[in-house]
Structure formats: structure tokens, C-alpha cells
Amino acid sequence: EVQLVESGGGLVQPGRSLRLSCAASGFNFDDYDMHWVRQVPGRGLEWVSGISWNSDNMGYVDSVKGRFTISRDNTKNSLYLQMNSLRSEDTALYYCVKDGPVAGTGDYWGQGTLVTVSS
């Protein structure tokens, strides 16, 4: 059974940093691209960042470029998102998403970890 378990969320002041982690199991982690997608409670979905299976390619939404860094450790079946210079508009539930049957789709999602940026 595929499982994606996010951790690392919490309450943080503007300008501070946070590192999200996602522990993956139930599939060959190093065969798939992975993504972070966020959702403000009660609002829509926003793709934040993605990383290729071998870490050769990464992408970011414009609003986080230069502040967030995605990475992965295939030996630990883990995905990470380092978030620096956090802003109030980064407040959201962050989902870890496994690439689906076609690259760019998400067939398995974690339950999310909530990041709240507030003073």
C-alpha cells in the first residue's frame, strides 16, 4: 500500500524557516518524480514544487522561487521542502504527492502538514 506521510509543519513567524519532510513507502520511490502541492484551507490547490526521480530537474512556482528548495533522498525514501523567508501567504496545508501514471499527475497524496506563518 502506498503511503505518504508529511511532517514538519507548524506555527512559524514571518521571515523564519521551516523544513517539511515526506516519508514514502509502498512503491519504488526512486522510480518517480515527486511534488509538493499546497492548499489554503477552504481554497484551491497550488502546485509548489516538483523534483525528478534522480534530482536532475526541479521546478517551482514563481512565488516561492529563491525561497523554497525541494530535495529528496532516495536511500531514505524521503522528500523534503526547505522553506526560507516565510510569508503569511505561505500559510497552507502542504501535500506530498507521488507522480502518477503520466508525469505531472498525482495519483497518491499524503494527508498534508499545516504550515501557519504568523507573528
Partner 1 sequence: ETVMTQSPATLSVSPGGRVTLSCRASQRVSNNLAWYQQKPGQAPRLLIYGASTRATGIPARFSGSGSGTDFTLTISSLQSEDFAVYYCQQYNHWLYTFGQGTKLEI
Sheet containing 78-83, strands listed edge to edge, beginning at the edge strand earlier in sequence = 3-7, 18-25, 78-83, 68-73
Instruction: Report how far apart the first and last C-alpha atoms of the chain are (Å, whole number).
Output: 40
Residue nearer to partner 1 on the CB measure, 85 or 111: 111
Q: How far apart are CA 68 and CA 25, in angstroms?
A: 24
Of 67-96, which residues contact partner 1 (CB under 8 A)?
A: 95
Residue nearer to partner 1 on the CB measure, 4 or 18: 4
Give me the least distance between CB of 13 and partner 1, in Å please.
28
Q: Do residues 21 and 13 lie in contact, with contact meaning Cβ atoms separated by under 8 Å?
A: no
Give me the least distance between CB of 112 and partner 1, in Å please.
7
- Number of shown-chain residues binding partner 1 (CB under 8 A): 23
11 binds partner 1 (CB under 8 A): no
- Please name the amino acid found at residue 15: G
- Which positions lie near partner 1, rule CB under 8 A? 35, 44-47, 50, 57, 59, 61-62, 95, 100-107, 109-112
